[in-house]
Chains A and B, each alone.
Chain A
Amino acid sequence: MSYSVAGAQTPVQADRRELFESLLTKTHRHAYHLAVRLTGKRADAEDLVQEAYLRAFRFFHRYDSSLPFTSWLYRIMTNAHIDEVRRRGKLKTTSLDDPHPETGAAWDLPDETASPERLVFTDELEAEIQDGLNRMTPDFRVAVLLADMEGFSYEEVSQIMGTSIGTVRSRIHRGRKQLRNHLLSVRPDRYGSQRK
């Protein structure tokens, strides 16, 4: 499939678009996988990936091509994720026991277990781990996933997260501990053999 470059006025802009599209084509599957683990939902992951690439293109002129594109993209994506989590945290919450403020009736909530957007886990273990990831502090979750799932070194994680190696070390340690405590609380029979 070809994508027109009608919006590009100059050969430089056309080259830039072409380069960006090729990078997107090469990296979007991996970016999606990280986004799924960050958000825990397919739809949210797609939105996050889209937002990350939009921001990346907007600031593509700042990209240093001597560095890996994925590191730069992940920095944008993880920042967008943390921004979104914080934004949602600031939204006003309403008790589901209260009537709907507009209709006065009980809340009619969709059954997310039947949603095609819900992640289909291969097994119970994966569901428990993802639940634990969802409950982690966002900064810890990002650090742990970048290190343990993506295999980045602490120095690379510190560059992606824009923080010191000492902070990365602390976030990874505390993030793993949060996940371990969650697993111990939901399945002490499986994970309880080791001390908390």
Chain B
Amino acid sequence: MNCRMIQTRLAAFLDRELDAGETAQVRRHIEACGRCSDDLDCCRSVKRLISSLPTHHPKPGFEERLLNAFWRGRLANAGGRSRRAANSMGWGAALVAGVAVISALTVFQLQQGPTQNPSESRQAELRRMLENDQAYDQARNPLSPGIRVNLDRDFEAR
């Protein structure tokens, strides 16, 4: 092994993480190479410095604060679930709004449809009936996506 290969194994050699064969190779090289031997000493001193660092203890009351914050966090997560539920409701409202727009367009098409050509009184009656259906459906279930279906069925029936 050359110096470059030894360098990549120095840390593992120091930590006794090499197999017997590699350990013997590194040891032979270090005995003959002053530079790699110095590097090994540097690594050893750095390792010793880190392992001798004093322990920092948490301030008094840390465990209590941690547990308090921990259960507050749990509550916040529960709040997150509520927010997700609220978002779902928001999507529901958006769905209703979308259906309402489609309904309005359908009414507009019915009013403009060249094949139907109904009289003005017939148009007004049809519009009122459709609006009633829509209001009834919304009152029964504001999130129901069935309004469009009802309107289509009404359109075909009429």
Are A and B associated in one complex? yes
- A3: chain B residues within 8 A (beta carbon): 67, 71
**B-side contacts of A29, CB under 8 Å:** 57-58
The answer to whether A50 touches B69 (Cβ under 8 A) is yes
Q: Please name the 8 residue pairs, one residue from A and one from B, whose CB atoms are nearest each other, closest first.
A: A173-B11, A148-B50, A36-B56, A32-B58, A172-B11, A195-B38, A176-B46, A154-B17
A-B contact pairs, 23 of them (CB 8 A): A28-B58, A28-B62, A28-B66, A29-B57, A33-B57, A46-B58, A46-B65, A50-B69, A53-B70, A54-B73, A126-B54, A145-B50, A149-B51, A165-B17, A169-B11, A172-B11, A173-B7, A173-B10, A176-B11, A176-B46, A180-B45, A183-B49, A191-B45
How many residue pairs, one in A and one in B, have C-beta atoms under 8 Å apart?
112
CB-contacts of A167-196 with B (<8 A) = 169-170, 172-173, 176-177, 179-180, 183, 191, 194-195
User: Of A1, A58, A173, which is in contact with the most chain B CB atoms at under 10 Å from its CB?
Assistant: A173
- Do residues A194 and B62 form an inter-chain contact, with CB atoms below 8 A? no
Distance of A33 Cα from B9 Cα, bound (Å): 29
- Report chain A residues within 8 Å CB of B49: 125, 129, 179, 183
In the bound complex, what is the Cα–Cα distance between A153 and B39 (angstroms)? Answer: 22
The listed residue with most A CB atoms (<10 A of its CB), out of B42, B59, B75, is B42
Q: Number of B interface residues at 8 Å Cβ cutoff, please give it.
A: 41
Main SS at interface, chain B: helix
In contact, A129 and B50 (Cβ under 8 angstroms) = yes
CA A157 to CA B57, docked complex, whole Å:
23
Which B residues are CB-close (under 8 A) to A32? 56-58, 62
Task: Mark A residues whose CB is within 8 Å of B.
Answer: 1, 3, 7, 21, 24-25, 28-29, 32-33, 36-37, 42, 45-46, 49-50, 53-54, 57-58, 119, 122, 125-126, 129-130, 144-145, 147-149, 151, 153-154, 165, 169-170, 172-173, 176-177, 179-180, 183, 191, 194-195
Given contacts A46-B58, A54-B73, A172-B11, contact A195 B42 (CB under 8 A): yes
